[in-house]
Structure 1
Amino acid sequence: MPTHQLLLGAQALWEELARAPRSFPPPDGVNVIVSPESGLCPPGWVGVVVLGGSALVTAPAESTARALRTALAGLPPSALVDAAAVREVLPVAGMLGPAALAYVTPEGFRPAAGPWAVERLPGGRPALRALEEAAGEEDSAEASLDEITSRAFVVREHGRVVAAAGYRAWSRRTAHISVLTAPGARGRGLARTTASAAVADALATGLLPQWRARPPASRRVAAALGFEELGAQLSLEPAPDGPAPRPLATLLP
């Protein structure tokens, strides 16, 4: 599948999540729409997804959308998923992300094998919960192993699960990949090995693997497996007074 078709598939996925079919603008464009039920962000927040150089922004109400169009006017799409750039033009009470969005085709997939045996476990097993506890709350929340709908692909050492991966079935036959490695077992290729098994399983069932990540280490694992970064996602909680227009000085060269 060429990159262009991969991009169209990714955009169609996020349009469906935004409850707004065919809403991505042409390259270099920004489309701010009203979508109270948007799945791009938590309820009441502003969702931003940039894919292929075009940005789709969802607002919970028309008043928020109007203010966003004014505040974001003139910004290139890439700036809308730059946390620092966004904070310069919008009063923000909370932020999730940005997270890179990457996808892989069967042709582009580069499987990774290691000296470890990969075991399959049903999701939600106590061994996975023990791994999440060892990894800590922040890393476990990033991985979201508790949300996978596939089996978990795990590596054990001395009887203990030290790395696991799986995926959650999303809209439009998308497989959202989750990967987690115990802190003391990182840097040895275990994430690549378990993630490779999960990706191979998703591709074998005709799903489009998606890798959403913030940490550079996670993004490197995705790149090693052949994933292409096509854009990024950011969620914004508007400040109580809502988005405000930028001062004139910020609009000047």
Structure 2
Amino acid sequence: MAPSAVLNRVQDLWVDLAGVATSFPAHGVRVVVAAESRLCPPAWAGIVVLGSSGIASAPDVATARFLRESIIGRPLRSAVEAGRWSAEYGVVDVLGPASLAYLDEQEFRPVAGVVDMARLPPGHPELDRLVADVSEDDVAESGIDEITSPVFVVRDRGRVAAAAGYRHWPHSVAHLCVLTGPHFRGRGLARTVASAAVAEALQNRLLPQWRARPEPSRRLARRLGFRELGDQLSIRIATHEVDSNCDSNRPDRGWP
């Protein structure tokens, strides 16, 4: 699949997740009001930049105006920079940014010669011990409890050491989920199980997606052949701050 075709398919996915009629503009970021947007957690604002443009969803009109005034006149990439938003007056929390990476059959670099790979149904009890040994943040980052595909695991002395699968997303996208136990890291197990999950997704004619914040996870994705096409970021804004700061003459607002 040509790079432009992958980008178009990915843009269609995120437009669908926005929940309202919109599209990626030729340049810049298009902001829409979408109370049910899945670009971000409920009541948050979400921004996705892919290629040379982006879309942003806001839960209400005041937040949409806040986003437009905060983004206009600034470089595109600044829209998905955490530090830029954490310093913005009225922003009370930031999630991300997370890189968005994808691959097709031609780009995939699978792990060869894998042995002792097991295949479990999602939610299998053997995964519970793996999850119990890992921090809540790591579990949340991995998305391991959201897998809807078969789960590929490698064991160490009968214990699941690493697991991977994917969650079915709209537009035939497979969202990869990978987790390795803390005592088994540094042995290439994450790459092994992730490779099996990617192969399964491609066999089912799905587009694998790798969303990650930590650099080790992003590096692993690149080793498998994923290309980073953009970034996603969510921000939570204090509504009363937004309402009180819509006056552009306020000196501490710092509008562009």
TM range (shorter): over 0.9
For the 8 Å contact 1:97–1:233, the answer to whether it is kept is: yes
In structure 2, the residue matched to 1:172 is 171
Deviation string 1:4-61 (CA, Å, 9 cap, x unpaired) is: 111111111000000134511113x111111111010111110110111212110111
Q: Distance in 2 between matches of 1:145 and 1:159?
A: 20
For the 8 Å contact 1:121–1:153, the answer to whether it is kept is: yes
For the 8 Å contact 1:100–1:213, the answer to whether it is kept is: yes
Q: Distance in 2 between matches of 1:84 and 1:179?
A: 27
Structure 1 residue 184: deviation in Å? Answer: 1.3
The CA RMSD measured in Å over matched residues stands at: 1.8
- The correspondence of residues 226-245 of structure 1 with structure 2, limited to 5 A, is 226-243=225-242, 244=245
Deviation string 1:114-156 (CA, Å, 9 cap, x unpaired) is: 5542110011112111111112211011111111000100000
Deviation string 1:182-220 (CA, Å, 9 cap, x unpaired) is: 111111111110000000000000100000001111111
- SS in structure 2 of the partner of residue 68 of structure 1: helix
For the 8 Å contact 1:12–1:21, the answer to whether it is kept is: no
In structure 2, the residue matched to 1:133 is 132
| 1:7 maps onto 2:7 in alignment | yes
| Bigger mean CA offset, 124-133 vs 174-183 | 124-133
Letter in 2 for 1:4: S
- SS in structure 2 of the partner of residue 172 of structure 1: coil
Distance 1:109 1:36, change over 3 A: same
Q: TM-score, normalised by structure 1?
A: 0.93
| Bigger mean CA offset, 115-124 vs 191-200 | 115-124
For the 8 Å contact 1:71–1:90, the answer to whether it is kept is: no
Which structure 1 segments of 5+ residues have no match? none
In structure 2, the residue matched to 1:120 is 119
In structure 1, the residue matched to 2:215 is 216
- The correspondence of residues 12-51 of structure 1 with structure 2, limited to 5 A, is 12-27=12-27, 29-51=28-50
Letter in 1 for 2:5: Q
Distance 1:75 1:122, change over 3 A: same
Q: How many residues align?
A: 251
Q: Distance in 2 between matches of 1:248 and 1:73?
A: 18
Q: Distance in 1 between matches of 2:229 and 2:114?
A: 32
| Paired-residue identity, % | 51
Structure 1 residue 222: deviation in Å? Answer: 0.4
Q: Distance in 2 between matches of 1:249 and 1:40?
A: 26
In structure 2, the residue matched to 1:146 is 145
For the 8 Å contact 2:80–2:97, the answer to whether it is kept is: yes
For the 8 Å contact 1:92–1:239, the answer to whether it is kept is: yes
In structure 1, the residue matched to 2:110 is 111
- SS in structure 2 of the partner of residue 234 of structure 1: strand
In structure 2, the residue matched to 1:203 is 202
Letter in 2 for 1:131: L
Q: Distance in 2 between matches of 1:209 and 1:247?
A: 46
Q: Distance in 2 between matches of 1:100 and 1:61?
A: 26
Letter in 2 for 1:55: G
Letter in 2 for 1:239: A
Q: Distance in 1 between matches of 2:228 and 2:127?
A: 28
